């Protein structure tokens, strides 16, 4: 993961899909997606997360060949255009991840935490790529069907700890792992708020925590705002997450979130910033 002086990274979302909940179809054309990625980088994103399969609630699976046709031209185009941001591939398919890594990606963002494809862990381990392990209850088609936990924060933390142990046991270097509690992925409004409120308990696992609240429906339930008017709510949740120790912020609107985090970084103590980075997850590329 690319580091910044203030110990956080903005991850810009590049959805190359026709059906993502917020911007589906906007960047389906490879040229438009490449331009969008470069704009996100210009606005402060140091990671570009390229995805060719929507993971919104109710989303249908996409065949690997179609997903590859969507994402590979974008990754290759970003690299050819001189993008300096780290490129992340948002996929749960090993074949897509392997091809994306060959094309220039260096981070695998797997919403299934290496459960969706049994070959994914080997692809990550052998490539020595960074990887993000996310918590999700069920799968996108079913995850919002009455999600239930014994205790949401403890359950999510235990899951992430278990998946990290699995990855390390299969050869993934622990210092290359990022963790994502999966806001909105099989969670009610109350679950999401409790995870943000007690995010420090996930941070205590010792790996950089990714937070992804951008424009999500739980924000609309609180504010009454439609998806296109949730920037202020997105910023609020990201600043709160920063204060609680999150270090990577996956967003649609890189510039405003970067500015808000810059103000937060100037005022909030950052105990993690005193630790000298020792791995690729906090190095520049």
What is the residue-wise DSSP string for 150-163? SSHHHHHHHHHHHH
Q: Which H/E stretch holds residue 86?
A: strand 86-90
For 186: left if phi > 0, alpha if psi spans -120 to 50, otherwise beta; the answer is left
Told to judge if 216 belongs to the known catalytic residues of this protein, a careful annotator would answer yes
Residue position matching structure tokens 């993000």: 132
Q: Which residues contact 269 (CB under 8 A, 6 or more apart)?
A: none
Catalytic choice (93, 157, 250, 258): 250
Local structure of residue 209 (DSSP, 8 states): B
Catalytic choice (70, 176, 216, 230): 216
State the sign of the Cα–Cα–Cα–Cα dihedral 180, 53, 145, 23: positive
Told to judge if 250 belongs to the known catalytic residues of this protein, a careful annotator would answer yes
Catalytic residues: 216, 250
């Amino acid at each position: 993961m690319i580091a910044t002086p203030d110990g956080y990274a903005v991850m810009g979302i590049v959805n190359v899909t026709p059906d993502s909940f917020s911007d589906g179809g906007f960047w389906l054309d490879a040229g438009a997606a490449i331009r969008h990625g470069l704009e996100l980088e210009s606005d402060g994103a140091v990671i570009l997360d390229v995805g060719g399969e929507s993971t919104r609630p109710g989303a249908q699976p996409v065949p690997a060949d179609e997903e590859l046709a969507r994402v590979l031209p974008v990754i290759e185009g970003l690299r050819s255009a001189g993008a300096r941001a780290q490129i992340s591939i948002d996929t749960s398919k090993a074949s897509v991840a392997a091809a994306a890594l060959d094309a220039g990606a260096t981070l695998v963002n797997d919403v299934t935490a290496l459960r969706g494809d049994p070959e994914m862990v080997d692809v990550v381990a052998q490539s020595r790529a960074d990887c993000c392990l996310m918590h999700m209850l069920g799968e996108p088609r079913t995850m919002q069907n009455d999600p239930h936990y014994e205790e949401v924060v403890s359950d999510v933390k235990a899951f992430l700890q278990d998946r990290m142990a699995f990855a390390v046991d299969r050869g993934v270097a622990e210092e290359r792992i990022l963790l994502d509690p999966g806001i909105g992925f099989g969670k009610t409004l109350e679950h999401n708020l409790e995870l943000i409120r007690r995010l420090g308990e996930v941070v205590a696992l010792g790996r950089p925590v990714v937070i992804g609240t951008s424009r999500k429906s739980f924000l609309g339930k609180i504010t009454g705002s439609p998806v296109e008017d949730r920037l202020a709510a997105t910023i609020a949740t990201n600043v709160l997450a920063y204060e609680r120790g999150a270090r990577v912020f996956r967003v649609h609107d890189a510039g405003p979130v970067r500015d808000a985090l810059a103000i937060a970084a100037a005022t909030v103590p950052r105990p993690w910033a005193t630790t000298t980075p020792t791995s690729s997850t906090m190095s520049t590329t």
